[in-house]
């Protein structure tokens, strides 16, 4: 079974000391939210987490942003306020991940444990 090959949408924010990414459902939801703040963020975001790439741009390895990193960049460690700033000033990007082949029968491969 092939997994993780659907398109993903993210907002990339290049900060002064770190690069940040949040994932969104789609561009239309983001644009609606940018013009109408009565739309809940839960309708825009695809997961409620801020990621950092350690200054490796939008393609870097994603790690969760620490409160200290958020405080240094945005002046607050409140994730809701940081997400809003990223959504307001970040760049929308879409990409497709490489497909991953899942094990079809784990009994036939090295995943099988022997006792």
Q: How many domains does the chain have?
A: 1
Whether residue 14 is contained in a domain is answered as: yes
Structural domain boundaries enclosing 73 = 9-94
Contact of 94 with 7, CB cutoff 8 Å: yes
Whether residue 90 is contained in a domain is answered as: yes
Q: What is the pLDDT of residue 101?
A: 59
* Predicted structure pTM score: 0.76
Whether residue 107 is contained in a domain is answered as: no
Whether residue 103 is contained in a domain is answered as: no
Query: Which DSSP helix (H) or strand (E) runs through 24?
Result: strand 19-24
- d(Cα 99, Cα 41) in Å, to the nearest integer? 29
Contact of 3 with 99, CB cutoff 8 Å: yes
Q: Which two tokens stand for residue 37?
A: 């703040």
Per-residue pLDDT of the chain (115 residues; tens, 9 = 90+): 344 555 678 999 999 999 999 999 889 999 999 999 999 999 999 888 999 998 877 777 889 999 999 999 999 999 999 999 999 999 998 876 655 556 566 666 665 555 5
């Amino acid at each position: 079974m092939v997994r993780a090959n659907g398109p993903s949408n993210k907002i990339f924010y290049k900060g002064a000391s770190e690069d940040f990414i949040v994932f969104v459902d789609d561009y239309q939801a983001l644009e609606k939210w940018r013009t109408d703040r009565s739309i809940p963020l839960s309708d825009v975001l695809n997961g409620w987490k801020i990621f950092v790439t350690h200054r490796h741009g939008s393609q870097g390895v994603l790690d969760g942003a620490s409160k200290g990193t958020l405080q240094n960049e945005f002046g607050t460690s409140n994730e809701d306020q940081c997400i809003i700033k990223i959504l307001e000033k970040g760049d929308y990007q879409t990409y497709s991940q490489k497909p991953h082949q899942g094990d079809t029968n784990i009994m036939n491969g090295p995943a099988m444990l022997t006792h």
